[in-house]
Chain A
């Protein structure tokens, strides 16, 4: 491999620029998918369809952005979908009972954040591997939600509240604004705060991070709490968009969120990845789904395609990274 000798001569890249390269390839892939869909389908490039793609991508992104931080610390949060369901049901009940959307929103966020905090406590204080802690939490939350809802459906919310999920502002869906805001906050948090830096350091080597004076346990608590709070946010948007809540709404949310994180280039081993990458991951996922709809391919094929994309993306990442070593 002449590449290796070239690598040795060139001024080497740090992982930040490695991240930039990864994001660049992903943007390219997303554009390529767009180009293909534009050629194959007349309706793909219509404004309505593009806004629809962005709105759908936003929901996956809200869940996946918080999850990205968890994965950056080499952890995993499998409870996000179940968390969305519980938070939505509780927030919906509060709105119904009090008539105050603001109170409902706060309750939803608080519920999500509290669940995340509990996950964090299990991972730090009880030292349960995050995979298992949050998997157990998934069942606990499902159990709570099913018991609480007892088969009922919450339906019909104030018009103002429904604007959050389905309203428009200056021609753009409101979730798209929220997407941009949280993409900005997430990126700033990860790249431009010392907490973000510490999260990368923890993911890269938790032992060295602790012995470098980073309060690892506190940062992990924060990360799981943020992941839970983002699930709470997603629950509000879900509730407002569907205008209803049922116990089972979370079941199809966790795996796509993880897919977005992985397609976005965040390593499950921690320390590598970006929030922006996750956004593109969510976008690619939604584009593929949208394209299949437009081309009238049966939705039954969608999981298969998602799986292949995840495997391909991770494989290519590992290949390029191994070459950079």
Chain B
């Protein structure tokens, strides 16, 4: 591939330059003094872990986010990008992973959506012209298809082509692509790369976000690495090795210690997943979790981690494979898994973990109703005693059990979600990003709690994008890639670099 892209960057002035971009969200610095330049006709690879700031940078570029500070230069001239219209005027277009096409309109209508050529009768569209114009645009990118085909009949790769055609029709000079090959087959990827070469030859610049090492080296003219919202380095592919890039992405994070008392030897087998596949995109998953263990489940966002958790819990249907829990096979809805002793602490605790408008107490007992009231008769006072006990035990900061749970802080809400499963007497706790949106203090409290749980004979399967946390807390970890288990890391092998290396796409 690389020999198809021989252009050496010679132009001294960048087409677009960002200097000192800052973007802050409550509690998070998404972009911290990031500078970034795109030269005409280059493919600029943007690399970084989950949460490194790639998406934020992309959104600042296309005007979806407004930078808190920083300057933009277009061909050396100072400009402002404070809206998507500004970005569009500068010729910046973004191809998101989720396409923004209208499925029931045809290709031509999608390309010219909102800019349709007017017909002779006011209020009508010149149908013949729109088709002809669309055909011309499709020809320039070498996409041979009838422009009157409706978009819902197209595959992912073809829809992507339509998105690109739409961008080109708006005279885009900078095309930002977010993991464009993520959903493409090898053949489709080749076609895309050929198109990218063609666009480059026309002087279009491409900002390309990727998790695949191979394409970083095959396509990239320049690489920018982001980490924790900062620009770490800008390099040329010829000057680095994949290993060096991984190290740049991971870096040396500030030392954080989480309480964990590792057991001398793991307990008996609690969960055994054999060859599990599901329509949600996971296949042939094999996992074992023993009592007393915290087992990590890592990988990039979208690698299938949450889907594995949901399949084990019965939240999504399983297409093949076996889940053996506590010696017996299990299959069915979440109520069955919950009754057998599996707990899911979902990633989006507000929408999936809690009834936000109900009280702390109501939320704490909701999974334990059958256990607390075997006769089926509910007693408010006895429920109150249970929730008061949990509030004390977990040190949930709330005025009372009657407080509306939506008013608590993120960390305390998470404790309520964990608390409801403590009340239910669960044996296996599946945590999906347990520390997301939680401040440092509450984080170590949550980890202390998990540690105590497993010390008392429970087990935990923990999904986290925070590799530091996985490395500190887990006995061992599985790393996922594209819906499969890419590897297993023992306690000794458990380093951030190993996690990233296994989680990256090499093919």
Contacts and interface: CB of A to CB of B under 8 A. Distances in A.
A191 B378 contact: yes
A159 interface: no
Contacts of B357: 15, 204, 271-272
B152 interface: no
B362 interface: yes
B358 interface: yes
A32 B366 CA distance: 38
Contacts of B28: none
Interface in B327-371: 333-335, 337-339, 344, 346, 351-359, 361-362, 365-367, 369-370
B373 interface: yes
B333 A215 contact: yes
**Chain B contact residues, majority secondary structure:** mixed
Among A12, A196, A200, find the residue whose CB has the most chain B CB atoms closer than 10 A.
A12
A15 B359 contact: yes
A208 B359 contact: no
Interface string A183-214: 00000000111111110110011011111111
Interface string B376-403: 1111100000000000000000011111
A16 interface: yes
A208 B335 contact: no
A98 B337 CA distance: 49
A46 interface: no
Given A198-B369, A211-B334, A12 B403 contact: yes
Contact of A213 (B338, B354, B373, B376): B338
B261 to A, nearest CB: 29
Contacts of B370: 194
Given A205-B356, A208-B354, A212-B338, A195 B376 contact: yes
Contacts of B356: 204-205
B169 interface: no
Given A14-B361, A14-B403, A213-B339, A205 B334 contact: no
B375 to A, nearest CB: 9
A207 B316 CA distance: 12
A197 B378 contact: yes
Contacts of A13: 402
Contacts of B353: 208, 211
Interface residues of B, number: 42
Given A11-B402, A194-B378, A201 B351 contact: no
Nearest to B346: A211
A197 B361 CA distance: 12
Interface string A1-44: 00000000001111111000000000000000000000000000
Contact of B354 (A11, A192, A195, A205): A205
Contact of A205 (B355, B361, B400): B355
A210 B334 CA distance: 7
Contacts of B339: 213
Among A200, A211, A271, find the residue whose CB has the most chain B CB atoms closer than 10 A.
A211
A237 to B, nearest CB: 29
Given A211-B353, A213-B337, A214-B335, A11 B400 contact: yes
Contacts of A191: 378, 380
Contacts of A197: 362, 365-366, 369, 378
Contact of B315 (A192, A210, A215): A210
Given A194-B370, A195-B376, A211-B313, A16 B359 contact: yes
Contact of B358 (A12, A193, A201): A201
Given A11-B399, A195-B376, A196-B378, A211 B352 contact: yes
Among A191, A195, A214, find the residue whose CB has the most chain B CB atoms closer than 10 A.
A214
Contacts of A194: 369-370, 373, 376-378
Interface in A118-150: none
Contacts of B351: 205, 207-208
A201 B354 CA distance: 9
A17 B402 contact: yes
A45 to B, nearest CB: 37
A217 to B, nearest CB: 8
Contacts of A207: 351-352
A194 B375 CA distance: 9
A16 B400 CA distance: 14
A11 to B, nearest CB: 5
A309 to B, nearest CB: 25
Contacts of A214: 335, 366-367
8 contacts: A14-B359, A14-B403, A15-B358, A197-B378, A201-B355, A204-B356, A212-B367, A213-B338
Interface of B: 313, 315, 333-335, 337-339, 344, 346, 351-359, 361-362, 365-367, 369-370, 373, 376-380, 399-404, 406-407, 420, 424
